[in-house]
Amino acid sequence: MSKRATCWVLFATLCMSFFLSHGQGKIQQRLPEKTRILFLIDASGSMLEQWERPNQSRWSVAKSILTKLVDSLKQNSKLELGLRIYGHRSPQEIKNCKDTWLEVPFKAKNHSLIISKLQEIKPKGVTPITYSLEQAANDFPAGPGYRNIVILITDGIESCGGDLCATSRALQKKGVFLRPYIIGLGLLSEKTLECAGKYIDADTPGKFYEVLNEALESSFAKTTVSVELLDGNQKPTETNINITFINSVTGVPMYDFVHYRDRQGKSDTVQIDPVVDYDLVVNTVPPVIKRNVTIAIGKHNVITIPAPQGNLLIQQEGRRDNNLQSVVRLKGKTEIINTQQSNVTFRYLTGKYEVETLTVPRRTFDVDIQPDKTKTILLPKPGVVNFNTISTGYGSLYEINDDGTQTWICNLNEFKSQFALNMLPGQYKIVFRVKQTSGSKYTGFKKFILRPGETLTVNVFN
């Protein structure tokens, strides 16, 4: 048995084992069942400032509200909490930009410990948000099965010169945690924090309770999506296309689903994580991209995307194989979007394309793909030309056009004096000089006509 045959047998065996052990390929993509939430809390000196009422500081309000919400989460068996505080161990005049500490590590049923730690904390220092977020990356235990979420609560912006946005994006891209919630206490729309996460203003204690509770609820809300792919008649009939949900902040794919419609034509439903903002890529050729898709948290979302497609078939008379290849580009563009085999129907997004067949010589066709229609390119039957140049040398092959001009096709192999080419019917010219000759004047040429299916011998110097 050949190596290639052995590889195919091994591949088939592995595939069979996979399908049998996974319920005949019915693998469901699911969100992790458990969630970790790290509260990253500002305890810098500014948190002692009065907020709304006399003798009520931002810290006392934050501590009270956070205590109440942490206590309410005790019954959630699929949740683990952690508490990191920054700006609370060194006074402001020291300007300790590493003043951050994981006060309560992740652990089941540690709610009382978090509440008691909040009562002990006394705000005093600076605001090293970036460094604290970097350290938070080490707070989440390794291992699958958890969604990692950060809720950052602050009343000020970075005071230690770190790049919070770059740090947050890098850690999200590594999969350390999902897009952070950032709750600003009385910051009045601090736009510089928006690039680091989902920023929410909390300009009053009541608003703080509301947005913190909303952040917690959205972390657990079951959010589902179905995607309707519209055809050329604006009907949701397109299907069996891979759809990628991409994190719009990091550019990292979060989910890949091959679209499915049931027998009644209804698109199926998938569950996604509502914490992340998404760009959707419908992987037609070329792809359709819908950016910044709005997802309603805790609800079923129907997303409609036009993706009408048609078919392209490339054939050549006398050939039933699929060895002939063609490159496909969007009309007016240089980028190759697909390499298509002959005798294989391929679907493209509706529009105008340029198809270049890799024949000798190459042919270029302008194609307009229409919804649910098949455009066929039919090439004439090729012929075979046997070339004899007596000896090795240098030369080129040209096609003679209808107006008498010539178009270069290819250079010839300088190490062969006899060779054959499969060529399209047409009028041609070969130009050649033998290596041993001592001048350009010894260049020879010969014109010839090749007809469909013909086998022709061309002796250049005869």
The pTM assigned to this predicted structure is 0.84
Spell out a b/e string for 408-429, using b for 16 or more CB atoms within 10 Å of the CB, else e. ebeebeeeebeeebebbbbebe
Find the helix or strand (DSSP H, E) in which 217 lies: helix 205-220
Q: Is 346 helix (H, G, I), strand (E, B) or coil?
A: strand
Query: pLDDT 10s per residue in the chain (462 long)?
Result: 444 444 444 444 444 444 444 445 555 677 888 999 999 999 999 999 998 878 889 999 999 999 999 999 999 999 999 999 999 999 999 999 999 999 999 999 999 999 999 999 999 999 999 999 999 999 999 888 899 999 999 998 889 988 999 999 999 999 999 999 999 987 755 778 889 999 998 988 999 999 999 889 888 889 999 999 999 999 999 999 999 999 999 999 999 999 999 999 999 999 999 999 999 999 999 999 999 998 999 999 999 999 999 999 999 998 899 999 999 999 999 999 999 999 999 999 999 999 999 999 999 999 999 999 999 999 999 999 999 999 999 999 999 999 999 999 999 999 999 999 999 999 999 999 999 999 999 999 999 999 999 999 999 998
* Token pair 């509260």: residue: 39
> How many other CB atoms are found less than 10 A from the CB of residue 135?
17
Q: Which residue segments constitute the domains of the chain, with CATH numbers given?
A: 34-220 (3.40.50.410), 222-306 (2.60.40.1120), 309-379 (2.60.40.1120), 383-459 (2.60.40.1120)
Q: Which of 146, 40, 147 shows the shortest CA–CA distance to 101?
A: 40
